[in-house]
Amino acid sequence: MNAETGLTRVVHEVRQLDLGERTSYQAGSLTVGEDSVKDLLRDPALAEVGLACADPGDSVRIVGALDAIQPCSKGPGGGGVFPGLLGPAMPAGRGETHVLRGAAVLAAGYLPRAQEAVIDMSGPAAPLSPLSATHNLVVEWTPADDAAWEDVEAALRRGLVKVAAHLAEAALDAEPDAVEELPEPNGSTESDRPRVGVILNLQTQGKFKDVFVYGRSLSGGLPTVISPNELDDGTVVSGQYGHPALKNPTYLHQTHPVVAALRANDELELAALVLCPEPVNQADKELVSAHAARLCTGLNLDAAIVTKEGGGNADADVSLKLDRLEEEGITAVGILAEMAGRDGTGPPLVVPPTKATALISTGNYDERMTLPAVDRALGRDRIALLDQPSTDEIELPVAAIYCAQSTLGWGRLTCAEIA
Amino acid sequence: MKIVHYVNQFFAGIGGEDSAGTGPELRDGATGPGRKLASLLGDEHEIVATAICGDDYAASHAEFAAELVAQARERGAEMIVAGPAFTSGRYGMACARIAAAASEAGLHGLASMHPENPGLGEAAGTAVVESGETARQMKDSLERFAAAALKMAAGEELTAQDGRIGPVARTNRLAEKSAAERAVALVLTRLGGDRDATEIPLPDFDSVTPAAPIADAAEAVFALVTEGGFVLAGNPDRLESARATKWVRYSLDGLDAAETGKFESVHGGFSTQWANADPNRILPLDIAREMEQEGKIGRLHGEVLATTGNGTTVADARRFGMEWAADLRQQNIQAAILTAT
C-alpha cells in the first residue's frame, strides 16, 4: 500500500445509545447531548425538531425513513468529512477518520416524492435492513409555516451531516476498537491479481431524487473516477428518497458493501471507483454507459461490478453498462433487484442486458410480507400507503422495507425458483 | 366428470374480429373444437356446456371469468378447460383468466396456448399446457390438451412432460452471504472461464409488430392515453403512485383542455409540480382539441385511459396494454397517443 495516500479508519464500536445532557462516548456507550444536537439542526425551514433512539431488538417501527448516516470525524470542528456540504468541496479520503460503527443518525417523516420507507427494529423485516442492526438516533421535525419543501430537505441534509460529525467527534480521544488501513488504488498494474472496478450509478432525477458528490449533483455530467476511500469520508451524500428497498443512503455509501468485500478479498484487487449519473433519457444513458466503459478500459480493469439506485428505469443504466463493458473485454457483473409481481412469475427485469448475463439478485421487489404490530412508531403516526396506524400489523411489499434490496449489496435477500 | 369448455367468439362460430365485443354466455353441449375434445376425453367425462365470450369483451371486462365460472358451477361442472388459444393474445389472456378463476372457485382449471402467447402470464399459477402456433396444429394441440385434462381429472399434478408451460414462480429467501460477497464470488467464477453463471435468468420479451399507419388522420378517431399518473383531482379511484396494479378512465367530453385543479398527477417517479400547474403537459388535451377543431384529426375519443408507470411490473404493464387495446378497438378508435413520463 501507499502509506501517504491511504486512509486510516479508526473504529469505535457503539453498543449503547442514550439521550442526555452532553454528547459523550465511552467504552461503546454513546450519549447524545440533546440540546447541542438540536442546535445543530436549527434552520429557518424547521419549526421544531425531536430526537429519539431506536435500538436493535426494540419493538419499534420507523416510518418514512429518509437518509441515514454513519457518524464520522477527521478532527474537531468536522472539517474534512462530507466535503462540499460540511466543509470545503475538496477531495477527501486520506489521513485518519474516526467512525462510530454500529450507530447511525437518520431522519424520518414526510417529504414530497419520498415513498414511505419502513424500518422494523425487530421481527421478520429486521434481518433485511442494515439500519435495523444499528443504534439509531432518529430525527423528527415539524416544517416551518410556509417553508418550501426543498428548503426542508436541504435543512435536514445539512443538519444530519453536522450531527454525524458532532457525534463522532466525541470519540476522537477514545481508545479505538480497531484501526484499519485502507490503501488507495494508485493505478499500478504490477500486481498479478485481476483489477476490479466498482461502478456506482447515482440517481439523478431532480428534487428529492438526487445524490450529491462534493455537495453537487452529477445530473447532466459524465462518469468520473474517485478513490473508494472518499466514500468513507462522506464524499457521496444521498438526497434520494424514492424506492425505499432500493435506496442507497449515505450510510451505505460510507460503508459500501461491494467495496468492503473487494478490500477483504485476497484474489482480487480493488482498482477504482467510477461514479455515474443515471440520466432519464435513453441517449444520455447510452452515452454515460459507453463513456464509463471507456474509462474502465483506460484504468486497465479486468472486471467491474455495477450497481444502481431506483426502479425499472435504472435497470437500463446497469444493463447498458454491462453490455458496453463486455464489448470492451471487461468481465461485468451487475447487482439488480427483481420486479416479478406479487407471485414472482413475471419477467424479473424491465431492461435486461443482451451480452452480459452475470447478475446477482437482491430479491423480488413485489413479494409481500406481514410485519407484526409494534409498541412504538417513529417518523409518522400513520402509514399513508396502507391508511393504517404505524404501530398496526401491516402487510407490505418488500419494496417498502428500507434498503432491503439495495444493490450496494449489504443484504442477503435473493430470489430462486420454488423447488 | 362434468366439464365446461371455454372458447372465443371465433371458435364458437359467432364471427371474427367484428364480433369480438360479444358478451359472455353458456351454451349447452360441446361446440367447435369442443366436439373433438369431447371424443378425446372419452365416455367417463362429459362437456356439459361451452362457455363463450368475445376477445375484446373479455380483455376489457375482467369480471367475465367469474360470471362464466358461476354459471358453469350451476351446471354441475367440476372442471373448466379453455382453449387452445394458440398465439392469439386476447384469447390467451381470456383462457388464462377463466382457468385461474376456476381454480380460485375450487374447480379444476386448465388452459391451452402457445408458450409465446402474452396471455400466459395471467394464469396465476393455474395449469397451462402447450398448444401449437396456429389452428393448423389443432389436432395435436387437442390431443395434448385432452391428455392433460384426463390426468388432472385423475387428481395428478401436471409437469413439463405433459406439456405444462408457464412462468415459474421465484420467491424470496435469505442467502448465506451478502449480495456484495456473492457479486465478488461471481467475478471470480466468470474470470475463471464460466460464462453462464448468474442468479437471474434473462427474461424473453415478445416484440410487437406496429399497426399499419392510418391512411388519413383527418378521418381517424384518436384517443389520448397516458402512464403519467393522470387522475381527477383528489384521486377518487386511488390510483397508485407507484407499482400500479390498475388503470382508470375519465370522461373528456365537453372539455377544451385539462383544467388546472380538475386533474392532477399522482405519479411518484417525478416532481408533479409542473404537471399539476398545467395537467395538459401530461395529457395534451389542449393541443388535441385545437387539432380536432382545425380538422387535422377526425375526432378525439371522449375518454382518457390512464395509469402510473413507475415501478410497474412488466406483467401488469402488458396486461394494461392488452386491456386498453381491446377497449379502444371496441369503440372503433383508429389511433392512440400514449404520453409517457
How many contacts, defined by CB atoms under 8 Å, are there between A and B?
Answer: 200
Q: DSSP letter at A321?
A: H
Residue B178 is assigned to a structural domain of this protein: no
- B271-292 burial, b at 16+ Cβ within 10 Å, e below that, comes to bbeebbeebbbbbbbbebbebb
CA gap A338, A317 in Å, rounded: 15
Q: What string of H, E and C letters represents the secondary structure of A128-181? A: HCHHHCCEEEEEEEEECCCCCHHHHHHHHHHHHHHHHHHHHHCCCCCCCCEEEE
Domain assignment of residue B210, yes or no:
no
Partner B, chain A 344-403, Cβ-Cβ below 8 Å = 344-350, 352-353, 357-367, 397-399
- Whether the CB of B177 is below 8 Å from some CB of chain A: the reply is yes
The answer to whether residue A1 is domain-embedded is no
Which strands make up the sheet holding A178-182, listed edge to edge? A72-73, A95-101, A7-13, A178-182
Domain co-membership, B244 together with B310: yes
Cβ contact (<8 Å) for A358 and B197? yes
Examine residue B251 and state whether it is found in any structural domain, yes or no. yes
A51's CB contacts (< 8 A; 6+ apart) are A19, A32, A34, A37, A38, A137, A138, A139, A140
Nearest to A416 by CA among A363, A376, A339: A363
Nearest-Cα distance to chain A for B249, in Å, is 22
Q: Are residues B119 and B266 in the same domain?
A: no
In a domain, B281, yes or no: yes
Average confidence (pLDDT) over B93-106: 95
Residue A126 three-state SS: helix
Distance in angstroms (rounded) separating the CA atoms of residues A135 and A146? 34
Mean pLDDT across B117-126? 86
List, for residues B39-89, the tens digit of each pLDDT value. Answer: 999 999 999 999 999 999 999 898 999 999 999 999 999 999 999 999 999
DSSP B218: G
Within its chain, how far is the Cα of A79 from the centroid? Answer: 21
Nearest Cα to A157, choosing from A241, A269, A96? A241
Helix pair B89-104, B314-330: axis angle to 10 deg: 110
Return the C-alpha cell found at B244. Answer: 400500479
A335 closest CB neighbour out of B179, B196, B270: B179
Structural domain contains residue A411:
no
Residue A396: enclosing H or E segment and its boundaries?
strand A394-397
- Do B16 and B160 sit in the same domain of this protein? yes
Grid cell digits, residue A296: 474502465
> CA B237 from chain center: how many Å?
21
User: Which ipTM value was assigned to this complex?
Assistant: 0.97
Regarding whether B154 and B16 lie in a shared domain, the answer is yes
Residue A246 domain-assigned (yes or no): yes
Q: How far apart are CA A267 and CA A183, in angstroms?
A: 16
Collapsing DSSP to helix, strand or coil, B13 comes out as coil
DSSP-H helix ranges across A199-332: 229-232, 250-254, 257-263, 282-298, 312-327
| B212 at A interface, C-beta within 8 A | no
Helix (H, G, I), strand (E, B) or coil at A38: helix
For A79, the domain range is 7-400
Q: Record the cell numbers describing residue A4, joined without a space.
A: 501517504
| Residue A405 in domain | no
**Cβ-based neighbours of B160, under 8 Å, separated by 6 or more:** none
pLDDT confidence of residue A347: 82
Joined grid coordinates for residue B98: 377463466
- pLDDT at position A1 is 43
Q: How many domains does chain B have?
A: 2
Same domain, B161 and B221: no
- For residue A248, being part of any structural domain is answered with yes
* Gap between the Cα atoms of A347 and A143, Å rounded: 42
B240 with B103, same domain? Answer: no
DSSP, collapsed to helix, strand or coil, labels residue B144 as helix
C-alpha to C-alpha distances, B207 to A16, B116, B211, nearest whole angstrom: 57, 10, 13
Asked if A248 has any chain B CB less than 8 Å from its own CB, the reply is no
Tell me if B204 is assigned to some domain.
no
Residue with cell 404537471: B275
* Alpha-carbon distance B25 to nearest alpha carbon in chain A (angstroms): 31
CA distance linking residue B238 with residue B240, whole number of Å = 6
Asked if residue B154 belongs to a domain, the reply is yes
Amino acid type, A54 = A
Q: What is the pLDDT of residue A2?
A: 43
| Chain A nearest C-alpha distance from B4 (Å) | 27
Q: How far apart are CA B115 and CA B199, in angstroms?
A: 23
Whole-number pLDDT of residue A419? 54
Whole-Å CA distances, A29 to A21, A94, A174, A247, B211: 14, 27, 11, 29, 68
DSSP H helices in A196-281: 229-232, 250-254, 257-263
For A363, the closest of B172, B176, B269 (CB atoms) is B172
In chain B, residues with a C-beta closer than 8 Å to the C-beta of A409 are: 178-183
Number of domains in chain A: 1
Residue B305 pairs in a beta bridge with: B225, B249
Query: Does A260 lie at the interface with B, CB-CB under 8 angstroms?
Result: yes
**Count of other CB atoms within 10 angstroms of residue A418:** 8
Mean pLDDT of all residues in B103-121: 92
Report residue A80: phi and psi, to 5°. 100, -30
Q: Within an 8 Å CB–CB cutoff, is residue B124 touching chain A? A: yes
- Based on the domain organization, do B137 and B244 belong to the same domain? no
CATH of the domain at B20: 3.40.50
**Single-letter amino acid code for the residue at B9:** Q
CA dihedral of residues B131, B132, B134, B138 (deg, nearest 10): -70
Helix (H) or strand (E) holding B180: helix B179-191
Residues A163 and A155: their CA atoms lie apart, in Å, by 12
Clarify whether residues B159 and B300 are in a common domain: no
Tally Cβ neighbours within 10 Å of residue B204: 9
Largest CA distance in chain A: 61
Pick the closest to residue B102 from B87, B123, B86 (CA basis): B123
Location of C-alpha cell 480493488: A270
- CA distance linking residue B91 with residue B125, whole number of Å: 18
With an 8 Å Cβ cutoff, is A281 touching chain B?
A: no
- Subunit contact B269:A335, Cβ cutoff 8 A: no
> With the C-alpha atoms ordered B96, B102, B104, B108, is the resulting torsion angle positive or negative?
negative
Amino acid at A350: V
**pTM, two decimal places:** 0.82
Q: Is residue B43 part of a domain?
A: yes
Q: Mean pLDDT per 10-residue run, chain A (419 residues)? A: 78 98 98 98 98 98 98 91 95 96 98 93 98 98 96 97 98 97 88 95 94 96 97 97 96 98 97 96 97 97 97 94 97 96 85 90 96 98 93 97 98 87
Question: Is A101 strand, coil or helix?
Answer: strand
Q: What percent of chain B shows pLDDT beyond 70? A: 100
Segments forming the whole domain that contains residue B68: 2-165
**Pair B265, B231: CB distance under 8 Å:** yes
Q: State the CB neighbour count (10 A cutoff) for residue A281.
A: 8
Task: Name the least confident of A6-20, A35-49, B190-204, B252-266.
Answer: B190-204
Is residue B194 situated within a structural domain? Answer: no
Whole-number average pLDDT of chain B: 93
**Residue A137 falls within a domain, yes or no?**
yes
Q: HSE (CB half, 13 Å, CA atoms) of A366?
A: 27
Residue A354 within any structural domain of the chain: yes
Q: Which residues of A touch B170 (CB under 8 A)?
A: 338, 340, 344-345, 348, 364, 415-418
Chain A interface disruption, residue of B159, B168, B172, B238, most A CBs within 10 A:
B172
How many CB atoms are located within 10 Å of the residue A223 CB?
A: 24
